[in-house]
């Protein structure tokens, strides 16, 4: 009896939309990191984490760069199961850091 393996399942992912705001000082680069923590219902353990890093280069400017409600989509693969969630309060983390060019 042969074992059949299908690497194409599940065939879809869950898209999670996140908006973020912030500002980048003149003559600096802003580094935004968005983290999604996926937990299984009934536990407080983080089972999977997904992140996206975005850089905002404001190094040549003399004024502050303001980012207001910038939309981003993070893809969770494989898709979320009915027993998994991304808690809006603790599961979506946005953080900023800055460097001088």
Token couple for 73: 């989509």
Q: Is residue 20 part of a domain?
A: yes
For the chain, what is the domain count? Answer: 1
In a domain, 7, yes or no: no
What mean pLDDT, rounded, does the chain reach? Answer: 84
Q: Is residue 61 assigned to a domain?
A: yes
Cα–Cα distances in angstroms (integers) from residue 63 to residues 36, 43, 53, 100, in the given order: 31, 46, 23, 15
pTM for the model stands at 0.76
Is residue 100's pLDDT more than 90? no
The answer to whether 53 touches 94, Cβ cutoff 8 Å, is no
Which has the higher per-residue pLDDT, 70 or 40?
A: 70
pLDDT of residue 58: 93
Residue 5 lies in a domain: no
| Residue 4 belongs to some domain of the structure | no
Q: Are 13 and 78 in contact (CB under 8 A)?
A: yes
Asked whether residue 28 carries a pLDDT value surpassing 90, the answer given is yes
What's the average model confidence in pLDDT over 28-32?
Answer: 92
pLDDT in tens, 62-96: 999 999 999 998 888 888 888 888 876 667 788 88
Specify if 33 maps to a domain.
yes
């Amino acid at each position: 009896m042969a074992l059949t393996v299908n690497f194409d399942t599940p065939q879809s992912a869950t898209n999670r939309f996140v908006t973020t705001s912030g500002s980048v000082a003149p003559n600096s680069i802003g580094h935004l990191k968005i983290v999604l923590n996926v937990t299984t219902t009934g536990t407080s353990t983080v089972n999977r984490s997904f992140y996206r890093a975005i850089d905002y280069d404001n190094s040549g400017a003399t004024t502050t760069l303001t980012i207001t409600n910038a939309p981003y989509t993070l893809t969770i693969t494989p898709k979320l199961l009915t027993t998994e969630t991304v808690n809006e309060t603790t599961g979506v983390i946005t953080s900023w850091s800055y460097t001088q060019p």
